Amino acid sequence: MAGDPFTINKAKVRELDFVLIKRHLKRTKGNLRYFGLPARDLLELRAWEEYFCHFSAVERGKGNNGFLEQHNLILTAMQYGLSDRLILLRGEMDEILSRGKDEFGTLVQYPFDVVSLDYSGGLLYKDSHGKSRRIQSIVQLFMQQADLDKDFLLFISSNLDNEDQGEVRLVLSDINRELAKMGIDANKIIQRILNHGAEEARLKVYTPYLIKSLADKWYRCEYNKPVFYKGNRQTRMTHFSFWLKRTSKYSSGKPTPSDLIDIINLPAFSCNDGVLTEEDFGIPRLTQIP
């Protein structure tokens, strides 16, 4: 439906992503490579197609009809003239990234200029053994991209279902302790974030901190304002974007005081009916007193 709020909000997110593609990758327009889980109608691929020469599209499919959804994706690609640039990877995204191939042995063809990870169950989803396959797969992605000295844009979308607030709160407490060791008193602000009624107020700190920490061995991480919006059936959605610039030397992975302050102070966007409003969740800015 043209008036569906989810469609309108998702279109605004797609528009913001395209701004970043043009900002960082315009010089290689026409030669870009994409990896991700696109919408079934391939809307973003169709909107960005003039910039890309390759799409690695992940499609898991659901239950016994999985093969049909995969087949329909190929038909859609043919319908819009994208099939000669598209490779279908079948299976779970986490498994494909971790193993470097899909369920049928099709290899992931690194490197990529744009990686779009779209998760259900949130970024913190864990398997039956309590391990985060998502974290492991993201690290594998960074390693493979870094081995080929590739700068790239990373988009991460997820819903807020099944988020492990225990881990988020633990990381925020760790950030507080790190800042205290650096002589910065962030306790009041961190407590306000921890006690905030909106999970988004915590995720806007946790997710950039997590991605920077995972990437820092290989990349300098530039984070943009996250976007929070309502999806289908009023599901709360998050969208994060990062520019990852390959560094020439090994880094310790330890954020600096300015890194942590920038992450805590990073504002967000709330998107309602396609309209963006800057949101700080009423949290005061943290300042570093000389």
> Comparing 50-54, 156-160, 239-243, which segment has the lowest mean pLDDT?
156-160
The reply to whether 272 falls in a domain is yes
CA distance 161 to 124: 10
Of 39, 9, 38, nearest in space to 235 by CA: 9
Structure confidence by residue, pLDDT tens digits, 31-80: 999 999 998 889 999 999 999 999 999 998 766 677 888 889 999 999 99
Question: Which structure tokens are listed for 38?
Answer: 């696109």
Please tell me whether the peptide bond between 111 and the residue prior to it is cis, using omega within 30 degrees of 0. yes
**What is the pLDDT confidence band of residue 1, given thresholds at 50, 70 and 90?**
very low
The reply to whether 85 falls in a domain is no
Residue 164 predicted with pLDDT over 70: no
The reply to whether 139 falls in a domain is yes
Question: Which structure tokens are listed for 31?
Answer: 């030669």
Residue 95 amino acid letter: E
Chain position carrying tokens 């407490």 = 173
The reply to whether 201 falls in a domain is yes
Chain position carrying tokens 């701004």 = 19
Across all residues in the chain, what is the average pLDDT?
89
Chain position carrying tokens 């910065």 = 184
Please report the pLDDT score of residue 248 as a whole number. Answer: 75
The reply to whether 221 falls in a domain is yes
The reply to whether 223 falls in a domain is yes
Residue 244's Cβ-side half-sphere holds a number of Cα atoms within 13 Å equal to 29
Structural domains in the chain (count): 1
**What is the pLDDT confidence band of residue 4, given thresholds at 50, 70 and 90?**
low
The reply to whether 79 falls in a domain is no
> Comparing 63-67, 70-74, 85-89, 268-272, which segment has the lowest mean pLDDT?
63-67
Rounded (to 5) percent helix, strand, coil in the chain:
45, 20, 35
Residue 234 burial by Cβ neighbours in a 10 Å radius (0-12, 13-18, 19+): exposed
Residue 184 predicted with pLDDT over 90: yes
For residues 172-179, average pLDDT: 94
pTM of the model: 0.92
The answer to whether the beta carbons of residues 37 and 59 sit under 8 Å apart is: yes
Please report the pLDDT score of residue 234 as a whole number. Answer: 77
Q: Which residues does 269 contact at the CB level (< 8 Å), separation at least 6?
A: 225, 226, 227, 228, 276, 277, 278, 279
Of 248, 57, 223, 17, nearest in space to 146 by CA: 248
Chain position carrying tokens 């696109």 = 38
> What is the 8-class DSSP label of residue 286?
P
Domain carrying residue 153 = 5-30+110-279
For residues 202-230, average pLDDT: 94
Please report the pLDDT score of residue 2 as a whole number. Answer: 45
The reply to whether 232 falls in a domain is yes
46 compared with 287, residue with greater pLDDT:
46
